[in-house]
Amino acid sequence: MEEVHTVKSYDEELAHLTGIIARMGGMAEAQLTAGLQALARRDDDLAQRVVAGDARIDELDREVQSFAVRLLALRQPMAVDLRQIVGALNISGEIERVGDYAANLAKRALVLNRAGITAPVAGVVRLGEMVRGLLKDVLDAYLEKDLTKALGVWSRDEEVDAMYNAVMQDLITLMTEDPGTIATATHLLFMAKNIERIGDHATNIAEALHYQILGTSPAGSRPKGNTVGGPE
């Protein structure tokens, strides 16, 4: 049962914290979407906007850290309230990393656009769309406090690993058969790895939400595929 507060301002402060996380998450999802579009459409202007937009996510992350520390100091929360504040700190950090990876995608898209793309990008874009779906679902789960939806994201990490492996193998085969694609394919390998890592952060958010709601981690080990070695 959730705690009922007698101080209205405390509820408003917790709602404010959730609101910052919601804005961060929406921006990170938009950044990932735009980064993928910049790659698919060879859109330099869009890629540059993604790179510039990462600073705003960083600002919101710092705002979460500051506000959460203030709440911990002034309210001295316990039980579910403490988990909500600590969970916000953890989730904010995960979203900030998603923003970083989206910006990295855009930076590599700029490099590829200027150098000339000699390898197909469709596989990386499909992987990105799958991961964007996970990110959207876990952010919705956070706002709705929907544990079932969060666990659904957590369990789908294996699907991301499987598609990542397929994209990696296709790119490695392409480089082996056509050395002219090596430069482009190498960038795409890094981009695929960045996207796979965004998927990991989405499942980390699901785990943090599970702990926030129930005070425990999801039962069992996170479903993981056997990912092939790739760039970090």
Q: What is the CATH number of the domain that holds 173?
A: 1.20.58.220
pLDDT given for residue 224 in this prediction = 64
Tell me if 22 sits within 8 A of 143, measured CB to CB: yes
- In this prediction, residues 124-150 reach a mean pLDDT of 96
Rounded Cα distance, 93 and 51, in Å: 18
pTM listed for this prediction: 0.90
Rounded Cα distance, 140 and 130, in Å: 16
| Tokens describing residue 78 | 């316990």
- In this prediction, residues 15-38 reach a mean pLDDT of 96
Does residue 113 lie in a domain region?
A: yes
The count of domains in the chain is 1
Does residue 114 lie in a domain region?
A: yes
For residue 194, pLDDT over 90 is answered with yes
pLDDT digits (tens, 9 = 90+) for 58-108: 999 999 999 999 999 988 888 888 999 999 999 999 999 999 999 999 999
Which string of DSSP letters, residue by residue, matches 118-162?
Answer: -S--HHHHHHHHHHHHHHHHHHHHHHHT-HHHHHHHHHTHHHHHH
pLDDT given for residue 1 in this prediction = 41
Does residue 26 lie in a domain region?
A: yes
Does residue 1 lie in a domain region?
A: no
The residue that leads in pLDDT, 96 or 113, is 96
Mean pLDDT of the chain: 91
pLDDT given for residue 11 in this prediction = 85
Does residue 115 lie in a domain region?
A: yes
Does residue 222 lie in a domain region?
A: no
Does residue 219 lie in a domain region?
A: no
Does residue 75 lie in a domain region?
A: yes
Residue range(s) defining the domain that contains residue 187: 8-214
pLDDT confidence band for 231 (50 / 70 / 90): low
